[in-house]
Amino acid sequence: MIQIDNLHKKFGKNQVLKGIDLTIDSGGIFAVLGPNGSGKTTLIKSILGMVIPNSGSIKLNGASVKRNWQYRNDIDYLPQIANFPGNLTVKELIRMIKDLRSDKPADDRRLIELFKLQPFLDKKLSNLSGGTKQKVNLVLTFMFDSPLVILDEPTTGLDPISHLRLKKLITEEKKKGKTILITSHIMGFVEEISDEIVFLLEGKIYFRGTIPELKTKTEQPDFEHAIASMLSSSYA
Amino acid sequence: MLKILKYSFYDLMRSRWSYVYFLFYLLLGIVLLFLNNNLNKAVITLMNVIIVLVPLIGTIFGVMYYYNSKEFTELLLAQPVKRSSIFLGQYFGVALSLSMSLIVGLGLPFVFYGIFNSSAIWDFSLLLVTGTFLTLIFTALAFVIALANENKIKGFGYAILLWLFMAVIYDGVFLMSLMYFEDYPLDKFSLVATMLNPVDLSRVLILLKLDISALLGYTGAVFQQFFGTRLGLVLSTVTLALWVLVPTLFIYRMARRKDF
């Protein structure tokens, strides 16, 4: 599904990605992990074409993403920080995004129901709380039925009930055979839902595999400690 | 691109500033007509205001809109939309809504005063056309500046400097060079220098159309000889169009390479 070869990206003097090689096959939940500033968001934004790499290639289903935009029809993306144009209402925003992908059916009603957003539909986005904005963000992401879903910190600001609903939603999407890329700092969440993890460190892939593999490699009984031991051994 | 243009346009039509701008022109038109009580004179006074004010508003609005709609832009970038369509759509959205405020705001009082039955109709149309050109030019330049500067304050600073240069400093330098080199034949030089600045070019175009070039003395005669001909008119229209086209191309190219 996704094939990344020797990806490099520099922001000014700051070399963020230093040669990433990654192949992700169709179907399953992949967690992209790493400390702050390790290049997770840059990697995701490169796949989306929001960041333009200095060198290397990204292919989606065999086609290069460079200078291309139609491929984004097959991606649903949840940005890290939910920032929306403030003088639109929730309803208008949903209508606008649907209009931009006019050839796709959208499942917004069910999601609005799921996250209990009906009372907010006519409110302006600038008046919503952070958690409510994140719910709107989730509706916008999941309302299209795309084969690739990219979630950048999906749990930010969500209350426990919405958190549970989100987990259910993600597993449902996985059952449909979708590929889901997630970044998160909440290890419990990652351990529960992901099939495989990709651990980034200083712009390179440090580990790639399943969670049991990681535990045997680091000789740690639980996931959180396994991650921590990887970090401390690399800094040692 | 048209979809983005539509949403930017709606967004602006809902913003308070478009109305302030519109009401300002409406008021300006009414007051000038009331004070002058003469269409031709009102057009001349209006020219002096438009030539300076339209570029200023275009620059400030352009920069402000770009920085304020950053979130909107990032949302759009993840959608299946071409990058250049996003930025060109936003640019035309801003430029068109500003031009509309200008045309409707000034047009209404003049229409009610009876511009259609007067000989000043052509002068007034030319005024609106150059005003629209100036809006397109300076909004495009503002977008280029904003795209090149991540930092809001810097972007605003450069935009204001650009306006100051085009509307004020350029004329000063131009005049000083005329004084300094007065022993040489300067007619070609002054023609070219006028063509290179859209603000000056618009001013000269309107002045000549108003047939008050006699006020400009010898230079006026040279200018009349050049701009008064069909070639001069075509050439200056082409120059104004180039001033729109070149920054628009810059927006297109810069948008393709930028990281978000």
Q: Cβ separation of B78 and A85 shorter than 8 Å?
A: no
Indicate the residue of A11, A87, A97 with minimum beta-carbon distance to B79: A97
Considering only residues B186 and B250, tell me which one the structure prediction assigns the higher pLDDT: B250
Q: Cβ separation of A99 and B72 shorter than 8 Å?
A: no
Q: Does B259 touch chain A (CB under 8 A)?
A: yes
**pLDDT score, position B3:** 82
**pLDDT score, position B216:** 64
User: Over 80: is that where the pLDDT of A181 sits?
Assistant: yes
Overall number of domains in chain B = 1
pLDDT, one tens digit per residue, over B104-148 is 999 998 888 877 787 778 888 888 999 999 999 999 999 999 999
Overall number of domains in chain A = 1
Kindly tell me the sign of the dihedral angle through the C-alpha atoms of B29, B34, B36, B40.
positive
Smallest CA–CA separation between A75 and chain B, in Å?
A: 8
Q: State the complex-level ipTM.
A: 0.81
Q: Cβ separation of A45 and B7 shorter than 8 Å?
A: no
Confidence class for position B220, pLDDT limits 50, 70, 90: low
User: Over 60: is that where the pLDDT of A236 sits?
Assistant: no
CA dist A194 to A46, A199, A231, Å? Answer: 22, 13, 20
Find the mean pLDDT for residues A52-63: 87
Percent of chain B surpassing pLDDT 70:
96
Q: Which residue of B has its CA nearest to A85?
A: B72
Residues 40-59 of A with CB under 8 A from B: 45, 48-52
Q: Which residue of A has its CA nearest to B14?
A: A87
Which residue spans within chain B are E strands per DSSP? none
Q: Does B19 touch chain A (CB under 8 A)?
A: no
Find the mean pLDDT for residues A229-233: 79
Q: What is the CATH number of the domain that holds A216?
A: 3.40.50.300
Q: Which residue of A has its CA nearest to B75?
A: A84
**pLDDT score, position B104:** 92
CA dist B193 to B176, B196, B238, Å? Answer: 13, 5, 15
DSSP A22: E
- C-alpha to C-alpha distance for B64 and B67, rounded to whole angstroms: 5
**pLDDT score, position B136:** 95
**Of A100, A146, A75, the residue nearest B81 (C-alpha):** A100
User: Over 80: is that where the pLDDT of A83 sits?
Assistant: no
Give me the helix-helix angle, B121-148 and B198-209, nearest 10°.
180
**pLDDT score, position B245:** 96
DSSP A177: T
Q: Determine the structural domain holding residue A69 and report its residue range.
A: 2-235
Give the CB-side neighbour count of residue A168, counting CA atoms within 13 A.
9
pLDDT, one tens digit per residue, over B158-209 is 999 999 999 889 988 988 888 888 888 877 788 888 888 999 888 888 877 7
Find the mean pLDDT for residues A111-134: 89
Which are the contacts of A204, defined by CB distance < 8 A and separation ≥ 6? A18, A19, A20
Which are the contacts of A59, defined by CB distance < 8 A and separation ≥ 6? A2, A3, A4, A5, A65
Count interface pairs A-B at CB distance under 8 A.
62
Q: Give B151's contacts in chain A (Cβ within 8 Å).
A: none
pLDDT, one tens digit per residue, over B35-71 is 888 887 888 888 888 899 999 999 999 999 999 888 7
Find the mean pLDDT for residues A143-162: 88
Q: Give A86's contacts in chain B (Cβ within 8 Å).
A: 71
Q: Does A75 touch chain B (CB under 8 A)?
A: yes
Q: Does B81 touch chain A (CB under 8 A)?
A: yes
Of A128-142, B80-94, B220-234, which range is least confident? B220-234
Percent of chain B surpassing pLDDT 90:
37
Task: For strands A2-11 and A63-64, give the pairing.
Answer: unpaired
Of A79-83, A129-133, A184-188, which range is least confident? A79-83
Q: Cβ separation of A100 and B70 shorter than 8 Å?
A: no
Indicate the residue of A51, A71, A97 with minimum beta-carbon distance to B259: A51
Tell me if A136 sits within 8 A of A128, measured CB to CB: yes
**pLDDT score, position B217:** 63
Find the mean pLDDT for residues A98-105: 80
User: Over 90: is that where the pLDDT of A223 sits?
Assistant: no
Q: Cβ separation of A85 and B82 shorter than 8 Å?
A: no
Smallest CA–CA separation between A96 and chain B, in Å?
A: 8
User: Best mutation site among B12, B70, B71, B90 for testing chain A: the one with the most A CBs within 10 Å?
Assistant: B71
Q: Determine the structural domain holding residue B30 and report its residue range.
A: 2-257
Q: Which residue of A has its CA nearest to B15?
A: A87
Q: Cβ separation of A83 and B259 shorter than 8 Å?
A: no
Q: Cβ separation of A45 and B70 shorter than 8 Å?
A: no
- C-alpha to C-alpha distance for A208 and A31, rounded to whole angstroms: 10
Find the mean pLDDT for residues B10-17: 79
Q: Cβ separation of B83 and A99 shorter than 8 Å?
A: no
Q: Give B15's contacts in chain A (Cβ within 8 Å).
A: 87
Indicate the residue of A11, A75, A83 with minimum beta-carbon distance to B74: A83
pLDDT, one tens digit per residue, over A61-79 is 888 888 888 888 888 898 8
